[in-house]
């Protein structure tokens, strides 16, 4: 499709039209030659039709060599570990199969002509012809070595600073606890009031540093994660029981629901992977149980914090491919305009209902980062004054996948018995 217009125009039109088209083309080519970003046009067969000097600089492939080649031989993308992208990950391949929308990837790496790996930010947009049929794609990409380095330095600074500051804060908290302890200190009631407030704020500060540390780790991929086979039903029910006390304390009911509106009949034929008979659907997923507990606990803590009366429901449901956890409350709700920003760092809703409630605005960001570690998705639905429901979708393992995973874990445990102390046992 590309470049065919040229000769037709020359043949058919003359005079002004020809001049103005030539002007337009000249302008476009001046821009394409001048910009530093790589611009690449591929046709519907994946053949490179346009490759600007920026693209040549970044990839190391001269335009004359890249043109007319398939994009796959030039744009070799990989992840941060150097593993080549699968077709499902590769935005250039995905644009051919999946989408009518622009696909962006800020985490890619490119293997250049000389074999060097450079961090790349790339966006690929489909080109549609007049019948809305896919006729090619345009990719714009940039070498982001410097940005990534700066990001890393920033994250390192935050992580060192928050680590260092946690120690004195813990000391202050400890001494305040001693001052407030009747058996150790004698203080009058006014001093107690002040120290109580100081204690509360110190705890808040400690939590802020902890959250900062976790979010810095999440950002540069240092978040520890030991995924293991987890059956969500039992797992979430146990967490729920541990949390009951906090809900009781605020006079809120807490309900666990393992049936929800599940459409799925037990895909396991009524047996779990240990061969025991059960009656509800089993939802096997591969996650780090400690990390997932953080997520559920965080969403539950929020539900308690932002609910004055009523009940909190924690449930699981799903279908053949997805296992879902949801946490529903009857609280203040979240304004529609805040919802798109809620899972960003430091975002807090500023309303009269929430302003007085302390928090760091990092909790949901960390939740999202953890859920994404397991190819999951987290989102919220909410109605002001009625309540909010947070949903987490995780890829559900088939019975065969769960069996295979269980065998792998048993083999690992047998080879390294020390690990069995930390490897979570499935039910
Ligand atoms: P915070 O430490 O402020 O609670 P989070 O990242 O956990 O930080 O939450 C971000 C914001 O989302 C909160 O400040 C609050 O305004 C809103 N929010 C989170 N959960 C709920 C909920 N269950 N009900 C109402 N608002 C919520």
Question: Does ligand 1 come within 6 angstroms of the Cβ of 334?
Answer: yes
Contacts of residue 325, defined as CB under 8 A and 6 or more positions apart, other chains included, come to 232, 236, 296, 314, 315, 316, 391, 392, 394
Mean pLDDT of 341-351: 87
The confidence score (pLDDT) of residue 271 equals: 47
Mean pLDDT of 127-151: 91
The confidence score (pLDDT) of residue 355 equals: 62
Question: Does ligand 1 come within 6 angstroms of the Cβ of 387?
Answer: no
**Average pLDDT value for the chain:** 86
**Residue among 298, 358, 363 whose CB has most ligand 1 atoms within 8 A, to mutate:** 363
Domains 35-143 and 228-413 belong to one CATH topology: no
Residue 144 has pLDDT above 80, yes or no: yes
Burial class (CB in 10 A: 0-12, 13-18, 19+), 237: middle
Mean pLDDT of 52-81: 93
Q: How does pLDDT run across 209-246, given as a tens digit for each residue?
A: 888 888 888 887 778 889 999 999 999 999 999 999 99
The confidence score (pLDDT) of residue 418 equals: 56
Nearest CA owner, ligand 1 atom 25: 333
CA 288 to chain centre: 15
Nearest CA owner, ligand 1 atom 20: 302
> Which atom of ligand 1 is nearest the CA belonging to 307?
24
CATH 1.10.3720.10 fits 228-413, yes or no: no
Query: Which of these ranges, 230-234, 345-349, 391-395, has the smallest mean pLDDT?
Result: 345-349
Q: How does pLDDT run across 293-308, given as a tens digit for each residue?
A: 999 999 999 999 999 9
The confidence score (pLDDT) of residue 274 equals: 54
Residue 181 has pLDDT above 70, yes or no: yes
Residue 94 tokens, joined: 């995905």
Question: Does ligand 1 come within 6 angstroms of the Cβ of 141?
Answer: no
Q: What are phi and psi of 142, to 5 degrees?
A: -145, 140
Cα(216)–Cα(156) distance, rounded to whole angstroms? 7
Residue 11 has pLDDT above 60, yes or no: no
CATH 3.40.50.2300 fits 35-143, yes or no: no
The confidence score (pLDDT) of residue 250 equals: 94
Q: Structure pTM? A: 0.67
Q: How confident is the model at residue 336 (pLDDT cuts 50, 70, 90)?
A: very high
Is the pLDDT higher at 272 or at 249? 249
The confidence score (pLDDT) of residue 356 equals: 67
Question: Does ligand 1 come within 6 angstroms of the Cβ of 360?
Answer: yes
Cα(348)–Cα(356) distance, rounded to whole angstroms? 12
Question: Does ligand 1 come within 6 angstroms of the Cβ of 332?
Answer: yes
The confidence score (pLDDT) of residue 426 equals: 40
Max avg pLDDT among 7-16, 23-32, 322-331, 354-363: 322-331
Query: Which of these ranges, 175-184, 274-283, 315-324, 357-366, has the smallest mean pLDDT?
Result: 274-283
The confidence score (pLDDT) of residue 10 equals: 44
Mean pLDDT of 29-48: 93
Cα(115)–Cα(112) distance, rounded to whole angstroms? 5
Mean pLDDT of 47-56: 95
Nearest by Cα to 236 from 213, 205, 269, 259: 259
The confidence score (pLDDT) of residue 119 equals: 94
Cα(283)–Cα(231) distance, rounded to whole angstroms? 5
Nearest CA owner, ligand 1 atom 26: 334
Residue ranges in 181-231 assigned as alpha helix (H): 189-219
Q: How confident is the model at residue 166 (pLDDT cuts 50, 70, 90)?
A: confident
Nearest by Cα to 367 from 395, 394, 398, 338: 394
Domain extents in the chain: 1-32, 35-143, 148-219, 228-413
Nearest CA owner, ligand 1 atom 14: 348
Question: Does ligand 1 come within 6 angstroms of the Cβ of 299?
Answer: no
Nearest CA owner, ligand 1 atom 11: 348
Question: Does ligand 1 come within 6 angstroms of the Cβ of 215?
Answer: no
The confidence score (pLDDT) of residue 427 equals: 36
317-331 burial, b for 16+ CB within 10 Å, e for fewer? Answer: bbeeebbbbbbbbbb
**Residue among 359, 369, 371, 383 whose CB has most ligand 1 atoms within 8 A, to mutate:** 359
Is the pLDDT higher at 16 or at 379? 379
Q: How confident is the model at residue 99 (pLDDT cuts 50, 70, 90)?
A: low
CA of 309 to the centre of ligand 1 (A): 17
């Amino acid at each position: 499709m590309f470049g065919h217009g040229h000769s037709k125009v020359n043949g058919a039109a003359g005079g002004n039209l020809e001049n103005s088209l030539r002007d337009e083309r000249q302008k476009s080519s001046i821009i394409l030659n001048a910009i530093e970003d790589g611009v690449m046009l591929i046709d519907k067969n994946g053949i490179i039709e346009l490759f600007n000097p920026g693209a040549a600089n970044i990839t190391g492939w001269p335009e004359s060599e890249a043109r007319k080649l398939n994009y796959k031989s030039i744009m070799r993308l990989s992840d941060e570990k150097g593993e080549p992208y699968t077709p499902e990950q590769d935005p250039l391949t995905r644009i051919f199969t999946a989408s009518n929308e622009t696909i962006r990837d800020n985490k890619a790496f490119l293997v250049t002509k000389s074999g060097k790996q450079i961090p790349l930010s790339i966006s690929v947009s489909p080109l549609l012809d007049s019948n809305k049929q896919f006729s090619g794609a345009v990719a714009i990409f940039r070498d982001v070595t410097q940005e990534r380095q700066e990001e890393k330095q920033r994250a390192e600074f935050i992580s060192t600073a928050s680590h260092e500051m946690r120690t004195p804060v813990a000391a202050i908290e400890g001494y305040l606890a001693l001052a407030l302890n009747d058996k150790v200190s004698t203080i009058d009631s006014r001093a107690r009031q002040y120290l109580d407030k100081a204690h509360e704020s110190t705890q808040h500060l400690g939590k802020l540093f902890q959250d900062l540390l976790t979010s810095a780790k999440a950002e540069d991929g240092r978040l520890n994660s030991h995924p293991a086979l987890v059956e969500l039903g039992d797992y979430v029910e146990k967490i729920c029981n541990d949390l009951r006390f906090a809900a009781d304390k605020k006079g809120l009911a807490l309900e666990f629901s393992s049936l929800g509106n599940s459409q799925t009949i037990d895909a396991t034929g009524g047996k779990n992977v240990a061969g025991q008979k059960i009656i509800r659907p089993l939802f096997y997923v591969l996650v780090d149980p400690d990390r997932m507990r953080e997520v559920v606990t965080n969403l539950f803590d929020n539900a308690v914090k932002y609910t004055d009366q009523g009940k909190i429901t924690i449930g699981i449901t799903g279908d053949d491919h997805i296992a879902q956890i949801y946490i529903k409350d009857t609280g203040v709700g979240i304004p529609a305009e805040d919802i798109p920003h809620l899972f960003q760092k430091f975002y807090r809703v500023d309303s009269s209902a929430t302003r007085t409630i302390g928090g760091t605005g990092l909790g949901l960001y960390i939740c999202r980062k953890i859920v994404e570690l397991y190819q999951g998705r987290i989102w919220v639905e909410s109605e002001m004054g009625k309540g909010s429901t947070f949903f987490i979708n995780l890829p559900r393992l088939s019975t065969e996948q769960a069996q295979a995973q269980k065998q792998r874990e048993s083999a690992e445990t047998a080879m390294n018995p020390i690990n069995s102390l930390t490897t979570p046992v499935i039910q």
